[in-house]
Structure 1
Amino acid sequence: MTTTSMTNPVRFRLMMFMLCLVSHVVNGEQEMRCHPKEREALLQFKAAAVDHYGMLSSWTTPHCCQWQGIRCSNLTAHILSLHLPTGYISGEIHESLMELSLLEYLNLSSNYFGYEKIPDFLGSLRNLKYLDLA
């Protein structure tokens, strides 16, 4: 057997594996559920917030990766982004957000949380690359 005839089955299997993986990631997004600990952290954040206009009304299903303002990793289902620049949320930024250890993006701008300084616990979010509380 030649070298090329030996590698063709390997290449074929590798291609099939990659197609299956891509298909799983793309099609699996509809079934993605975030981690229970992270979902609970978001629900605690919601409970501490005053949301008179129902901006967080989608935050009820088990599929929290599909909630308004939430973006999760397609591979791990960990929450990567919390984007809520609505202008309609007040109350407090609950420290439960510390449970979102892989959070990279946090935008709560245009809301009123009444803080004169950034809450200290946000410093524990080691993966945070973007923060907007203006």
Structure 2
Amino acid sequence: MSSGQIRQVRASHILIKHEGSRRKASWKDPEGVRIRSTSRESAAAQLKSLQEQIISGAARFEDVAVRFSDCSSAKRGGDLGPFKRGQMQRAFEEVAFALNVGEISDIIDTDSGVHVILRTA
């Protein structure tokens, strides 16, 4: 089945917000102090380092999400649950649907910030 025919996927993600994010607050940073002072480049560098730890086996995706993700899904290890096309921002959705189960994405930019996605189903 090609990625164009898949009806829904399940994925987890790690989101790092930055000064360009549309909402400059998170459950970890309710006043947005850290987010407003974080450049996109700095957020991406932090996320790249976290991604490398996960891929190398030094850290588990879920544990990294709980500690570092700016999304409220962090409390669930980054799990977004199942979703269909049209429910997420387009760039995020395109990557999530293109991944194989168990595969981790490169860094994705959306209006929310920078993400890495793990497709779980």
Shorter-chain TM range is under 0.3
State TM-score, norm by structure 1: 0.24
User: Normalised by the size of structure 2, how large is the TM-score?
Assistant: 0.25
Larger RCO of the pair (alpha carbons < 8 Å, separation 6+): 2
Q: Which has the larger radius of gyration?
A: 1
Higher helix share: 1
- Structure with higher strand content: 2
